[in-house]
Structure 1
Amino acid sequence: MAIPTVAEKVADELAARIVGGVLLPGAPLRQEVFVQEFGASHAAIREAFLRLEGRRLVVSEARRGFRVVELELGGEREVMMMRAALEVLALRQIGGRPGPKRMSKIEEALNAGEEARDLIEWEIANRSFHDRLAEASGLPRLATSIAELNIISSRYAVMRDRSTQWKPRSNHDHRRIFEALCDGHVEQAASLLDNHIRAVERVTRI
């Protein structure tokens, strides 16, 4: 496994802050601030910003630099609809029970969700579960598109729920999807996944 570069480490840390709502939508990103915080070069910080721009978490503007991408009003429902279409498509490409390594990764994310102690831990585990289902398709471009949508979905969820008193959430849907895959029932898992995502979409509908 390759050792992450400074730019990759900074990008991952800032991505976590954006998704977690520490860096708010529209917040400016100042190179000099992060150069000092991370003890990195200006070149490394700029590369980190470009990586975040590639993930659609920040945007660059002429003479204004980089800022955190705004969340569009009503955009969460559209993201959920896209997730339902693409994640189900990805799952149906598996054809049968995923291999033991992939199943182990999916189960690891499932267990992390059941052990989550706060909203951020839950969102990380939830996103990981959905991402790893998509990765099992063996279609990297599709899995990457789904991962990008799941990051946006997490941003909306955190912004919506962080002011409420978070309580541990049921992982029942994830467990049923996982068990269907264990039995090699991909179509059943795909149907459960579709209902699971669309249930969230109905909750967020305005």
Structure 2
Amino acid sequence: MSYQPTTKSDTIAQQLSTRIIRGEFAPGEKLRQDLIAREYGVSQVTAREALLRLASQGLAISLPRRGMCVTPIDKDAIEELRLMRHALEPLALERSVPYLNPAQIAEIEHLHEACNAAATAEDWEEANRGFHMAIIAGCHMPRLVSEISNLQLLYARHFKARYSDKWRRRDDPDHAAILSAIKARDAARARTVMQRHLMRFS
């Protein structure tokens, strides 16, 4: 399950978030409302709404005398992100497993294969984020899913900054084990594997 933009400002926010994750905007870089409005051909009000959405996702922050800037990456924020993922994702997965339908499971399998076949760090990150969101699509807890979606965005940025240069194509045995547990409708095993999987995140 992924966030679907509903307004022009939502669409711009989504595109800007992708650019931030890819490193097109550096941590601490100013996000000029007038330039964004001009680039996307929208009013400054619409650009401002897009920036506020980025702020709500934790990708932008308003700084004194600088305005809206890309949120810096710091150790405390990364640790908070790690702890929140450990708390929320296994819970959402356990609640999701019994309710995933065959089409959703097929999509999870497709995303697992896409992760294993990814030729670049960017391709892997996109497929990985899709996998992590797809496996919780059956939990029927929209607030929880929304929070995890934001955490996934922030993780993607951390991954890009820290691991992109070191990335190598690889199969993911944890993803395979999670998929196997989902197919067996074994929610407890899926949760245990997810907890182990997230221990590798730092």
Give yes or no for contact 1:97–1:185 (8 Å, CA) kept in 2: no
For the residues of structure 2 that align with 1:95 and 1:175, how far apart are their CA atoms?
15
Q: 2:84 aligns with which of 69, 82, 85?
A: 82
1:111-190 alignment to 2 at 5 Å? 111-164=113-166, 166-190=167-191
Evaluate the alpha carbon distance shift between residue 59 and residue 78 of structure 1 in structure 2; reply closer, same or farther with a 3 A threshold: closer
For the residues of structure 2 that align with 1:8 and 1:34, how far apart are their CA atoms?
13
Residues 80-106 of structure 1 show CA distances to partners (whole Å, capped at 9, x for unaligned) of 232122111112223625212332332
Of stretches 147-156 and 56-65 in structure 1, the one that deviates more from structure 2 is: 56-65
Other structure's SS at 1:67 match: strand
Evaluate the alpha carbon distance shift between residue 121 and residue 143 of structure 1 in structure 2; reply closer, same or farther with a 3 A threshold: same
For the residues of structure 2 that align with 1:97 and 1:185, how far apart are their CA atoms?
11
AA partner of residue 141 (structure 2): L
Other structure's SS at 2:96 match: coil
AA partner of residue 69 (structure 2): R
Give yes or no for contact 1:134–1:146 (8 Å, CA) kept in 2: no
For the residues of structure 2 that align with 1:192 and 1:20, how far apart are their CA atoms?
29
AA partner of residue 10 (structure 2): E
Give yes or no for contact 1:35–1:42 (8 Å, CA) kept in 2: yes
For the residues of structure 1 that align with 2:146 and 2:75, how far apart are their CA atoms?
24
- Say if 2:104 is the partner of 1:102: yes
For the residues of structure 1 that align with 2:174 and 2:25, how far apart are their CA atoms?
31
For the residues of structure 1 that align with 2:80 and 2:140, how far apart are their CA atoms?
25
Evaluate the alpha carbon distance shift between residue 93 and residue 9 of structure 1 in structure 2; reply closer, same or farther with a 3 A threshold: same
Identity across the alignment (%) = 31
Alignment partner, residue 56 of structure 1: 58
For the residues of structure 1 that align with 2:5 and 2:25, how far apart are their CA atoms?
26
- Structure 2 gaps, min length 5: none
For the residues of structure 2 that align with 1:37 and 1:132, how far apart are their CA atoms?
33
Give yes or no for contact 1:97–1:186 (8 Å, CA) kept in 2: no
Which TM-score applies when normalising by structure 1? 0.87
AA partner of residue 128 (structure 1): G
- Cα RMSD of the aligned pairs, angstroms, is 2.0
Evaluate the alpha carbon distance shift between residue 3 and residue 93 of structure 1 in structure 2; reply closer, same or farther with a 3 A threshold: closer
Q: CA deviation at 1:4?
A: 4.3
Other structure's SS at 2:140 match: coil
Q: CA deviation at 1:62?
A: 4.8
Residues 175-203 of structure 1 show CA distances to partners (whole Å, capped at 9, x for unaligned) of 210121011111111111111111x13xx
Of stretches 87-96 and 184-193 in structure 1, the one that deviates more from structure 2 is: 87-96
Other structure's SS at 2:85 match: helix
Evaluate the alpha carbon distance shift between residue 24 and residue 39 of structure 1 in structure 2; reply closer, same or farther with a 3 A threshold: same
- Say if 2:44 is the partner of 1:47: no
Q: CA deviation at 1:63?
A: 4.3
Other structure's SS at 1:135 match: coil
Give yes or no for contact 1:176–1:192 (8 Å, CA) kept in 2: yes
